């Protein structure tokens, strides 16, 4: 199936502001969950968009810049640790995607949502499992969200280099878990998750 098939059908039906939605960081032990929404321009195509995880770092960065330049609209939103603790990670992810939909100037008329769940809405929408590999709009959202969050975690790595966030971006790798056992958790860690430690630490900065 062409990654444009879904959008082409919706454009033919008269929808003009189709927003693809995706989130990254849901399975991480540290850092925010990040969502992105992208409304592509049917008259300004972008070649090479696919699931961000299948792209090299240089390809993601190049496409992220092109998407932001050519899209009719794009937005990136963070679900912070307070939201994750309050709602749980699933609902924080959904609410962060919803923040993309309601962001100023977005005004989507149709939503394509990665996954199998979304918050209740009156907007026409469909949820698509593995949507980042099936829809060019969701794929575009996955790319800009991942580039943003990876760069954010690399900047936080400078504050707490022991956890390897420049490589694992907060995911529960063995090295990350070992660092948690040795150093304890930081204020960037999701304490509602099973971190395997009760020790806390503060920034060196």
What residues have CB less than 8 Å from 78, skipping those under 6 apart? 32, 33, 34, 96
Over residues 183-194, mean pLDDT = 90
174-188 per-position pLDDT tens digit: 999 999 999 999 999
Strand partners, 24: 34
Q: What is the mean pLDDT of the chain?
A: 94
- Report domain extents, the chain: 5-150
Over residues 116-136, mean pLDDT = 95
Quick one: pLDDT at residue 51? 87
Query: Per CATH, which fold does 5-150 belong to?
Result: Nucleotidyltransferase; domain 5 (3.30.420)
pTM value? 0.93
Q: What percent of the chain has pLDDT over 70?
A: 95
Quick one: pLDDT at residue 200? 62
Secondary-structure breakdown of the chain: helix, strand, coil percentages, each rounded to the nearest 5? 40, 15, 40
């Amino acid at each position: 199936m062409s990654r444009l098939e879904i959008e082409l059908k919706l454009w033919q039906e008269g929808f003009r502001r189709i927003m693809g939605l995706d989130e990254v960081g849901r399975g991480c032990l540290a850092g925010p969950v990040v969502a992105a929404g992208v409304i592509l321009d049917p008259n300004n195509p972008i070649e090479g968009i696919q699931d961000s995880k299948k792209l090299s770092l240089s390809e993601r960065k190049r496409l992220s810049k092109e998407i932001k330049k050519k899209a009719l609209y794009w937005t990136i939103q963070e679900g912070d640790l307070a939201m994750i603790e309050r709602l749980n990670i699933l609902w924080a992810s959904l609410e962060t995607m919803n923040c993309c939909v309601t962001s100023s100037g977005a005004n989507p008329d149709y939503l394509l949502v990665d996954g199998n769940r979304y918050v209740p809405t009156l907007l026409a929408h469909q949820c698509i499992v593995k949507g980042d590999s099936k829809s060019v709009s969701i794929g575009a959202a996955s790319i800009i969200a991942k580039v943003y969050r990876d760069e954010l975690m690399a900047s936080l790595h400078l504050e707490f280099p022991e956890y390897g966030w420049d490589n694992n971006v907060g995911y529960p790798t063995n090295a990350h878990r070992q660092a948690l056992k040795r150093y304890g958790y930081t204020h960037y860690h999701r304490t509602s998750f099973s971190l395997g430690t009760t020790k806390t630490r503060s920034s060196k900065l």
